[in-house]
């Protein structure tokens, strides 16, 4: 065990500095401070404690620590930056206490906070990583893996939100349901991979041609849906016909892709009602020859 009688301030594993109150000139510092700064001796009576700190830290001392010290007599756990002899910045934790006996002295303790800073940085990094993962998970839970479009669950959530807005504004929205014609034949003739490629290409085509305010989803299999806020049934029909023309551009060898569409519109209809109406219209489009868009009757 260490002989307590022979222990001196230099044995402490924290920095000790004694200064006067007004000018903060150093009258004593221990070895820890010297090793923190990378100098052999700083007990030069002309050295002020501010000279050991970064510019920002001297402002903190002047505007925050000193008023508290004068008012309360002590100030704890202030994060400062020490500038060492090499010019490196070392994060440190500072405590100070005033001894009012004449001559008035301030006792400063300074400990390196490098590890604390590293720990803090690690926590910040970890938090960022978790946030990114949570974002990614949220995205995965909302989208269809093959096309990157919304999945059915997220589509229904957003559609219900849009319906509420349209109920208030009394502005029509339109739901467009469409389904690739004879898609089974594509799979059977060219294989499932080509079928996937077609679905993916259609996803890209829809993303490129829909408005940012539209909600586009793959509802399952080869069935897609677009919810268009603030869109009348006539505008929806024009848009649906444009998509029918565009989808012909996706060709697999000699097969030209077509699709059928059903449209339902309104501003005061529940999602299930709107969905059913668009689905029936889609069925009518299929039943009456495919490659067309039909408005609900």
Tokens 């677009």, residue located: 226
Task: Tell me how many residues contact ligand GTP (CB under 6 A).
Answer: 16
31, 97, 116, 182: residue in contact with ligand GTP (rule CB under 6 A): 182
**Pair 89, 5: CB distance under 8 Å:** no
Stretch that binds ligand GTP, among 23-31, 115-123, 177-185, 202-210 (CB under 6 A): 177-185
The Cα diameter of the chain in Å comes to 104
- Which one of residues 184, 207, 211, 242 is an interface residue with ligand GTP (CB under 6 A)? 184
Least distance in angstroms from the C-beta of 184 to ligand GTP: 3
Nearest distance from C-beta of residue 77 to ligand GTP, angstroms: 59
Q: Count CB neighbours of 267 within 10 A.
A: 17
Q: Which stretch binds ligand GTP (CB under 6 A): 102-110, 156-164, 173-181, 267-275?
A: 173-181
Q: How many residues in total does the chain contain?
A: 297
Partners of 93 in beta bridges? 79, 111
> Looking at 115-123, 130-138, 192-200, 266-274, which segment touches ligand GTP (CB under 6 A)?
192-200
Is residue 222 part of the annotated active site? The answer reads yes
Q: Is 187 in the site for ligand GTP (CB under 6 A)?
A: yes
Dist CA 153 CA 203 (whole Å)? 17
Write the burial class of residue 49 (CB in 10 Å: 0-12 exposed, 13-18 middle, 19+ buried). buried
Written as six digits, the tokens of 192 are 């499932």
Choosing from 77, 167, 222, 270, which is the catalytic residue? 222
Q: Can you spell out the DSSP letters for 49-65?
A: GGGGB-HHHHHHIIIII
**Helix and strand element counts for the chain (H, E):** 9, 12
Interaction of residue 195 with ligand GTP, rule CB under 6 A:
yes
Which lies closer to ligand GTP via its Cβ, residue 161 or residue 184?
184
Structure tokens at 211: 């408005």
- For 279, the token pair is 């689905």
Reading the block at residue 193, the tokens are: 């991979």
Distance CA 105, CA 101 (A): 8
Q: Toward ligand GTP, which CB reaches closer, 25 or 182?
A: 182
Q: State the Cα–Cα distance between residues 187 and 165, nearest whole angstrom.
A: 40
Binding residues among 205-224 for ligand GTP as defined by CB under 6 A: 221-222
If the CB atoms of residues 142 and 232 are measured against ligand GTP, the closer one turns out to be 142
Asked if residue 288 binds ligand GTP (CB under 6 A), the reply is no
- Indicate the residue among 96 and 279 with the shorter CB distance to ligand GTP: 279
**Near ligand GTP by CB under 6 A: residue from 154, 179, 214, 279:** 179
**DSSP H or E segment with residue 83:** strand 74-83
Per-residue interface string for the shown chain with ligand GTP, residues 131-170, x marking contact by CB under 6 A: ---------------x------------------------
Binding site for ligand GTP (CB under 6 A): 146, 179-184, 187, 192, 195-196, 199, 221-222, 286, 290
Residues involved in catalysis:
222
């Amino acid at each position: 065990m260490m002989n307590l009688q022979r222990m001196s301030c230099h044995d402490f594993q924290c920095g000790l500095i004694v200064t006067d109150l007004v000018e903060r000139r150093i009258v004593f510092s221990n070895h820890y401070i010297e090793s923190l700064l990378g100098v052999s001796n700083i007990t030069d009576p002309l050295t002020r404690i501010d000279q050991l700190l970064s510019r920002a830290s001297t402002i903190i001392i002047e505007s925050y620590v000193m008023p508290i010290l004068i008012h309360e007599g002590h100030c704890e756990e202030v994060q400062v930056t020490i500038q060492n002899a090499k010019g490196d910045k070392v994060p440190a934790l500072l405590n100070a206490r005033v001894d009012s006996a004449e001559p008035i002295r301030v006792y400063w303790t300074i400990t390196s906070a490098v590890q604390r800073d590293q720990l803090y940085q690690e926590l910040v990094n970890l938090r960022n990583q978790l946030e990114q993962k949570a974002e990614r998970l949220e995205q995965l839970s909302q989208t269809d893996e093959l096309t990157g479009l919304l999945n059915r669950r997220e589509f229904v959530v957003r559609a219900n939100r849009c319906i509420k807005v349209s109920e208030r504004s009394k502005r029509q929205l339109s739901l467009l349901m469409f389904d690739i014609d004879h898609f089974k034949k594509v799979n059977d003739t060219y294989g499932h991979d080509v079928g996937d490629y077609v679905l993916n290409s259609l996803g890209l085509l829809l993303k490129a041609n829909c408005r940012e305010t539209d909600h586009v989803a793959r509802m399952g299999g080869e069935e897609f849906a677009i919810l268009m806020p603030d869109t009348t049934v006539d505008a929806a029909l024009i848009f649906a016909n444009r998509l029918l023309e565009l989808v012909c551009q996706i060709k697999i060898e000699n097969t030209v892709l077509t699709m059928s569409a059903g449209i339902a519109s309104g501003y005061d209809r529940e999602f299930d009602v709107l969905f059913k109406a668009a689905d029936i219209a889609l069925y009518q489009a299929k039943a009456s020859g495919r490659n067309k868009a039909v408005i609900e009757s």
